Chain A
Amino acid sequence: MELKDSRIIAARPEDVWAAILSPEVLQACIPGCESITGTPEEGFEAVVVQKVGPVKARFTGVVTLSDMVAGESLTISGEGKGGPAGFAKGGAKVRLDPDGEGTNLSYEVQASVGGKLAQLGSRIIDGFARKLADEFFARLQSAVETPGAADATEAAESDADAAEGGEKKKGWFRRIIGA
């Protein structure tokens, strides 16, 4: 599966860059992310709970950052293992280009899934991944443009999810960017 998109963020590329490299911001932005640790240099480890169609699982995975050109571009790749639910892996090439006062963030994502996720979820996986990517970058945008907003969004969603029985709509995308 491949998807490609871009969005304009009202912040300078170096601020966006810093946000992408920050585990705290990533945790707030990755839907379903329970924890994320590590550093941009050594890679991150993350735990994400995600539900794809009938398959719900806690994915643990390693994310590495490469081809890093500070403030301009990087490649994020990772693989998440969801136990019996299967696995997902992929990579994203992210570019940050100045756009007036802000940044044009463009990304190309390649992802594949395996095991039960593929067996049961193939019909919905593309749309699901697109939605997660949108959500991630929307949160990132919000976090960068108004620091603190991402946490608020996350908290609000958590409350809403708790009301629905605690099911968070989260984080397949997280693996793509490096959980």
Chain B
Amino acid sequence: MPKDQGIGASTKRREDVRFLTGKGRYTDDINLRGQTHCVFVRSQVAHGRINAIDTSAAEAMPGVIKVFTSADFAGKGGVPCGWQIHDKQGNPMLEPKHPILAEGKARYVGDAIAAVIAETLEQARDAAEAVVIDIEELPAVVDMKAAVAGGALVHDEVGSNLCYDWGFIEDNKGAVDAAIKSAHHVTTLELVNNRLIPNAMEPRAAIGDYNSASDDYTLYTTSQNPHVIRLLMGAFVLGIPEHKLRVIAPDVGGGFGSKIFHYVEEAFVTHAAKVVGRPVKWTAQRSESFMTDAHGRDHVTKIELALDKDGHFLAIRTETYANMGAYLSTFASSVPTYLHGTLMAGNYKTPHIYVNVKAVFTNTVPVDAYRGAGRPEATFQLERVIDKAAREMGIDPIEIRRRNFVQPNEFPYQTPVAVAYDTGNYQATMDKLVQIADIAGFEGRRAESAKKGLLRGLGVNCYIEACGIAPSNLVGQLGARAGLYESATVRVNATGGIVVMTGSHSHGQGHETTFPQVVAEMIGIPEAQVEIVHGDTANVPMGMGTYGSRSLAVGGSAIVRATNKIIAKAKKIAAHLMEASEGDIELKDGKFSVAGTDKSVDWGSVCLAAYVPHNYPLAELEPGLEETAFYDPSNFTYPAGAYACEVEVDPGTGKVTICSFAAADDFGNVINPMIVEGQVHGGLAQGIGQAMLEAAAYDANGQLLSGSYMDYAMPRADDVPFYMVDHSCQTPCTHNPLGVKGCGEAGAIGSPPAVVNAVIDALQRGGHKHVTHIDMPVSPVRVWSAMQG
């Protein structure tokens, strides 16, 4: 019988009550006394020299308080990049300044050049139209290969558009080249991982507030990691010490990575609030989100897979061009490198792997982590090339994968690309997939589709991801400029209620439900007795935030540690109250008892004693019941799984319809199965969106053509099937106390190759043998054109 609370229960999401009844409190819902409004004047050209900015007409308009340009930020820093990559030769990446407002040149359509502060939003908008920018349009670079082949320079001062040329692992290259040269078979695939626009439901927003009495600042912002923003903005951009800067990220309506990063608008409103002496508010319009939220993916890759005559993988060699956009966003440099290269082994035993990545500046919106971040790019190329190899060698695509899996008895498994998988069972998830997707029944379904004149195809793939980001000592060696631990404070009140302050941030993940399940289980009290506080640097001691499927694995583990400290202290108090030895105290169902006796004291009494210490061992123990813990994982976690997609292709139009999608995931232990399924569903929808519909398009001049929902196709309910998801294959993580691996990104990582594999399968079975690859999105025109040859 399913549990009705605690670990393993599908507790309904408590936060949904306020979200679904319109009572959420988002940044734009906050209005401060005396607040002013900000509108940015943004570049309309992708690349241009700013000759002059005339703000006089705008400043004379009604309600205008001040118009800012880069001159107002003299002496302030640029927005920093949080991860330094070293190239093949060991040289640091090129790291041009990313100013708050454009200095000298504008580098993408949407680059902020000036900003108007006015009494009302309408006045600010009107005045923004009156700011005259004399800008001389320069040739733009959009195509990555052209950008490194001598196109216009995005940043003149660094002398090149090649941010870095990274080899991973450079010492492996000789062995990889040799293995490919002598292999029985080599499959080569060139592909594009299409550029995506994140489209969180809530656009970004920020409010800066400065208190002249105390000389401190408050920033309200749509962030996945307020403490990181505090550190980056305070230390690197504005020079505000952390104790004088409070960052609040209240309810946040979706992030998908795009709200990890420190954006210029945050620094702008914080600084401007002090200059004008009043709070400054900015909320992005949807059009602004399209052209300023960091985009995702945008890789162009060539991958080669060498195999022996039995289909065993011998070596993988890749060359990828990764678009950085016009400036380095906060984690942009890490996505195509350590979040991508380290995953190229996939679920397989490939002895030799070499990954080359060329990161390129172009006159486009900065590109950074988007749900999956590097791992979808790795998975897509690997699982596509395996499919192509299977077809070329006449081996069943499931069989060729099974033949190369890391076997259950081979963990921990050291890959040739730095990471070591702690645990997993890829045969088991594949077995589960074969069952839930009814692979055996495919031929029958294909025959049914054929009767309707439709080509049916089956696509299967596996994925693995490195989540629970990350061990600080490891990422530090790799160039990360931050630690990636998490902290938690568990505060027990006198009447037994608990407040958990976590550095993780919930913007859709359901932490307010899941984390209490863990604490309630550990103590044996009702979940309703536990409350979660997050998203405020003044209330939470420290935090690294939520991304990389790390909240439960890292943040949850910190909560477990803090709760264990609470339990240890509570046992001391209970021992004193019952005049027993601390070692004999047992905690079960919210009751402390002395082993082997009928003596007990309940949770509430112990909590009361801690705060009303009339009968208390004051000589040995401090009053109060509050503990803080930090947790830094010793390894990544490695969720993995096997996915299957069936499609029907209409040969007359090229239209692809997804008939079914099955996902067998191994997330280790699961705290709330319903929330896990919801996360998988959301991830699948985003992956299917990438595979079927979404593409950010630029013209040759760097104009964003897909800048609205008229031209950027998001998946809708009728674009996705009912999913079959299963997470019963559980190999618990071996190194965190909960045995959990993370589930937030899996669906988006694992699903794109399944869709494309299915489309190619449908066309191949339908006699279109020449079609071996179609780039995403697999739109009707692309599929139809491919069929025509």
Interface residues of chain A, those whose CB is within 8 Å of chain B, are 53, 83-84, 86-87, 112-116, 118-120, 122-123
Do A119 and B290 touch (CB < 8 A)? yes
A-B contact pairs, 25 of them (CB 8 A): A53-B710, A83-B129, A84-B128, A84-B129, A112-B701, A112-B703, A114-B44, A114-B701, A114-B703, A115-B109, A115-B703, A116-B44, A116-B287, A118-B109, A118-B699, A119-B109, A119-B291, A119-B703, A119-B707, A119-B708, A120-B708, A120-B710, A122-B699, A122-B705, A123-B711
A53 → chain B, closest Cβ, in Å? 8
B670 at the interface (CB under 8 A from A): no
Tell me the bound Cα distance from A114 to B705 in angstroms.
9
Tell me the bound Cα distance from A83 to B42 in angstroms.
11
What 8 A-B pairs have minimum CB-CB distances, sorted nearest first? A119-B707, A115-B44, A118-B703, A122-B705, A114-B44, A83-B129, A84-B129, A114-B703
CB nearest to B697 among chain A residues: A122
Residue from B128, B697, B708 whose CB has the most chain A CB atoms within 10 Å? B708
Do A118 and B704 touch (CB < 8 A)? yes
A7 → chain B, closest Cβ, in Å? 29
CB nearest to B287 among chain A residues: A119
Residues of B within 8 A of A120 (CB): 287, 707-708, 710
Q: Mark B101-132, 1 if CB is under 8 A from A, else 0.
A: 00000000100000000000000000011000
Residues of B within 8 A of A123 (CB): 710-711
Which residues in window 270-305 of B have CB below 8 A to A?
287, 290-291
Which residues in window 654-704 of B have CB below 8 A to A?
697, 699, 701, 703-704
Known: A84-B129, A87-B44, A114-B44. A119 touches B704 (CB 8 A): yes
Tell me the bound Cα distance from A131 to B287 in angstroms.
27
Tell me the bound Cα distance from A118 to B707 in angstroms.
8
Tell me the bound Cα distance from A89 to B699 in angstroms.
14
Task: Beyond the given A87-B44, A114-B45, A119-B291, please list 6 additional residue pairs across the A-B interface where CB-CB is below 8 A.
Answer: A84-B128, A86-B44, A115-B44, A119-B708, A120-B710, A122-B706
Tell me the bound Cα distance from A120 to B708 in angstroms.
6
Tell me the bound Cα distance from A112 to B699 in angstroms.
9
B137 → chain A, closest Cβ, in Å? 8
Residues of B within 8 A of A116 (CB): 44, 287, 707
Tell me the bound Cα distance from A84 to B126 in angstroms.
10
B114 → chain A, closest Cβ, in Å? 13
Tell me the bound Cα distance from A86 to B287 in angstroms.
13
Tell me the bound Cα distance from A118 to B704 in angstroms.
7
Residues of B within 8 A of A114 (CB): 44-45, 109, 701, 703
Q: Mark B702-720, 1 if CB is under 8 A from A, else 0.
A: 0111111011000000000
CB nearest to B705 among chain A residues: A122
Residues of B within 8 A of A86 (CB): 44
B578 → chain A, closest Cβ, in Å? 70
Residues of A within 8 A of B704 (CB): 118-119
CB nearest to A53 among chain B residues: B710
Tell me the bound Cα distance from A123 to B713 in angstroms.
13
A57 → chain B, closest Cβ, in Å? 10
Tell me the bound Cα distance from A91 to B58 in angstroms.
32
Interface residues of chain B, those whose CB is within 8 Å of chain A, are 44-45, 109, 128-129, 287, 290-291, 697, 699, 701, 703-708, 710-711
CB nearest to B46 among chain A residues: A114
Known: A112-B699, A112-B701, A115-B44. A122 touches B109 (CB 8 A): no
Residue from B44, B706, B711 whose CB has the most chain A CB atoms within 10 Å? B44
Tell me the bound Cα distance from A112 to B703 in angstroms.
9
Residues of B within 8 A of A115 (CB): 44, 109, 703
Residues of B within 8 A of A112 (CB): 699, 701, 703
Residue from A53, A86, A116 whose CB has the most chain B CB atoms within 10 Å? A116
Do B128 and A122 touch (CB < 8 A)? no
B483 → chain A, closest Cβ, in Å? 39
B90 → chain A, closest Cβ, in Å? 41
Do B44 and A122 touch (CB < 8 A)? no
Do B128 and A119 touch (CB < 8 A)? no
Tell me the bound Cα distance from A122 to B291 in angstroms.
15
Tell me the bound Cα distance from A116 to B705 in angstroms.
9
Tell me the bound Cα distance from A114 to B135 in angstroms.
13
Tell me the bound Cα distance from A83 to B701 in angstroms.
19
Tell me the bound Cα distance from A84 to B45 in angstroms.
12
Residues of A within 8 A of B697 (CB): 122
Do B711 and A122 touch (CB < 8 A)? yes
Residues of B within 8 A of A84 (CB): 128-129
Residues of A within 8 A of B129 (CB): 83-84
Tell me the bound Cα distance from A86 to B291 in angstroms.
14
Tell me the bound Cα distance from A114 to B710 in angstroms.
17
A26 → chain B, closest Cβ, in Å? 25
Do A113 and B703 touch (CB < 8 A)? yes
Tell me the bound Cα distance from A72 to B45 in angstroms.
35
Residues of B within 8 A of A122 (CB): 697, 699, 703, 705-707, 711
Tell me the bound Cα distance from A176 to B128 in angstroms.
27
A124 → chain B, closest Cβ, in Å? 9
CB nearest to B711 among chain A residues: A123
A103 → chain B, closest Cβ, in Å? 34
Tell me the bound Cα distance from A122 to B345 in angstroms.
41
Residues of B within 8 A of A113 (CB): 703
Residues of B within 8 A of A83 (CB): 129
Tell me the bound Cα distance from A119 to B707 in angstroms.
4
Residues of B within 8 A of A118 (CB): 109, 699, 703-705, 707
A142 → chain B, closest Cβ, in Å? 34
Tell me the bound Cα distance from A10 to B146 in angstroms.
48
Residues of B within 8 A of A53 (CB): 710
CB nearest to B130 among chain A residues: A83
Tell me the bound Cα distance from A120 to B706 in angstroms.
8
Tell me the bound Cα distance from A112 to B291 in angstroms.
19
A101 → chain B, closest Cβ, in Å? 43
Tell me the bound Cα distance from A119 to B197 in angstroms.
13
Residues of B within 8 A of A87 (CB): 44-45
Tell me the bound Cα distance from A113 to B701 in angstroms.
9
Tell me the bound Cα distance from A120 to B291 in angstroms.
12
Tell me the bound Cα distance from A138 to B36 in angstroms.
51
Tell me the bound Cα distance from A119 to B128 in angstroms.
19
CB nearest to B290 among chain A residues: A119
Tell me the bound Cα distance from A122 to B707 in angstroms.
9
CB nearest to B702 among chain A residues: A114
Tell me the bound Cα distance from A53 to B697 in angstroms.
19
CB nearest to A82 among chain B residues: B44
Known: A84-B128, A87-B44, A114-B44. A119 touches B705 (CB 8 A): yes
Tell me the bound Cα distance from A114 to B700 in angstroms.
11
CB nearest to B128 among chain A residues: A84
B41 → chain A, closest Cβ, in Å? 9
Tell me the bound Cα distance from A118 to B291 in angstroms.
12
A123 → chain B, closest Cβ, in Å? 6
Tell me the bound Cα distance from A84 to B130 in angstroms.
9
A113 → chain B, closest Cβ, in Å? 7
CB nearest to A113 among chain B residues: B703
Residues of A within 8 A of B291 (CB): 119
B489 → chain A, closest Cβ, in Å? 45
B662 → chain A, closest Cβ, in Å? 36
Tell me the bound Cα distance from A166 to B48 in angstroms.
36
